[in-house]
Amino acid sequence: MDYNASAPLRPEVLALMAEVLGRTGNASSVHGFGRSARAAVEKAREQVAALAGTVASQITFTASATEANNMVLQAFRNGRILASAIEHPSVLESAPHAELIPVTADGVVDEAAYEALLDKGEPALVSIMAVNNETGVIQNVGRLAKIAKKKYPGVHVHTDAVQAAGRLPLDFPAWHIDYMSLSAHKFGGPHGAGALITAPGAKPVKLLHGGGQEKRQRAGTENVAGIAGFGLASELAQKNMEGFQKLAALRDRLETEAKKVVPILIHGEKAPRVANTSLFSTPGITAQTQIMGLDLDGFAVSSGSACSSGTVKSSHVLRAMGVADAVGECALRVSFGPDTRSDDIDAFVNAWSKMAARLAKKEQAHA
């Protein structure tokens, strides 16, 4: 139940990757082995492009979405950048000077505050994620990009669509954006395979120099098996997009049942959210305690983003939503996927309820 950290590799993807790994050849070689590797890369490019609603020529394969985000944010290091306050660290840390666009208590970009920032002057880049990894809250990227472009036709817009891919339809051209970052391992593909999608006229920074791979945008021999796996996972995720929406019923049931046990606060509850994610705080019971208890029962969940876990600090996302640290430290993220069944939710609710009721009693005894 930690799909937002990493979803399981789909069996079909594993089978394809094993077959491709068994092949020999560099995708840049002109002989038959090379051409076979090249064919696998180009097929994947078509599949990833289809998932993003765009054309293959706009896809640059990278080793992660972190890399793709860095390629964009670092390209604007000397310009004014507006980034939402809830971006992933791979955006925020590659643009330390970015001005942060506030979000509402529900985790949605505050449009009045965004417009006020735009009114202050033309930014070079706006970066707003499509779906937040901790809350699952969806941003209206198309609308927000249009607002910026109407005011400043020359502004570039980037969206980190890592948590949106396979969960809601992506439409690169219709969103009025110039850059989109994707990562394979969030929807059944392998780790170490990402992509940057660029519109004509976009100028991402070149981080890796050397060979002429990826139209000279990103040097280094292609991870052919990883890219092939990314491609197939994209195709499968696209086919299953409708099925994915059914997870909302499981998520809603989980939240309804949890509310019956102890008072919980569901972050982003009133905002549009992707179907598979629930972030909720049980005041007085730290996320760390809950995660350890659930782990013993065989449930893998997380406290906000995996990157910042290991510490019991509240996340920058919850802080931006105005959540007090004492409440943020108790936020548990449950995120699941197409393989999750109704029984899994029942088993989880059962284990969590027992634990929460016991810990809440203990907490009351101490109070």
Q: Does 183 bind ligand PLP (CB under 6 A)?
A: yes
166 exposure class (CB count in 10 Å sphere: 0-12, 13-18, 19+): buried
Q: Does 160 bind ligand PLP (CB under 6 A)?
A: yes
> Per-residue b/e over 26-41, b at no fewer than 16 CB within 10 Å?
bbeeeeeeeebbbebb
307 a catalytic residue: yes
Contact segment (CB under 6 A) with ligand PLP among 158-166, 168-176, 221-229, 317-325 equals 158-166
Q: Site map for ligand PLP, 268-297, x if CB under 6 A?
A: ------------------------------
Can you list the positions of beta strands (E) in the chain? 59-62, 81-84, 99-101, 125-127, 156-160, 179-183, 194-198, 265-266, 277-281, 331-335
Exactly one of 58, 64, 217, 340 binds ligand PLP (CB under 6 A); that residue is 64
Exactly one of 129, 170, 294, 349 binds ligand PLP (CB under 6 A); that residue is 129
310: Cβ contacts below 8 Å, ≥ 6 apart:
none
Contact segment (CB under 6 A) with ligand PLP among 26-34, 59-67, 76-84, 172-180 equals 59-67
Q: Does 315 bind ligand PLP (CB under 6 A)?
A: no
| Local structure of 273: helix, strand or coil | strand
- The backbone torsions φ and ψ at residue 167, rounded to the nearest 5 degrees and listed phi first, read -110, -30
286/304 Cα distance (integer angstroms): 12
The least distance separating ligand PLP from the CB of residue 31, rounded to whole angstroms, comes to 32
Closest C-alpha among 186, 193, 146 to residue 164: 186
Residue placing its CB nearer to ligand PLP in the complex, 7 or 349: 7
The least distance separating ligand PLP from the CB of residue 215, rounded to whole angstroms, comes to 21
Q: Is 258 in contact with 353 (CB distance < 8 Å)?
A: yes
The least distance separating ligand PLP from the CB of residue 219, rounded to whole angstroms, comes to 19
Exactly one of 38, 45, 88, 156 binds ligand PLP (CB under 6 A); that residue is 88
Q: Which of 14, 307, 347, 360 is catalytic?
A: 307
Alpha helix positions (H), 131-223 = 141-151
Contact segment (CB under 6 A) with ligand PLP among 60-68, 115-123, 254-262, 346-354 equals 60-68
65/247 Cα distance (integer angstroms): 25
Footprint of ligand PLP on this chain (CB under 6 A)? 64-66, 88, 90, 129, 133, 160, 162-163, 183, 194, 307
Residues marked active site are found at 307
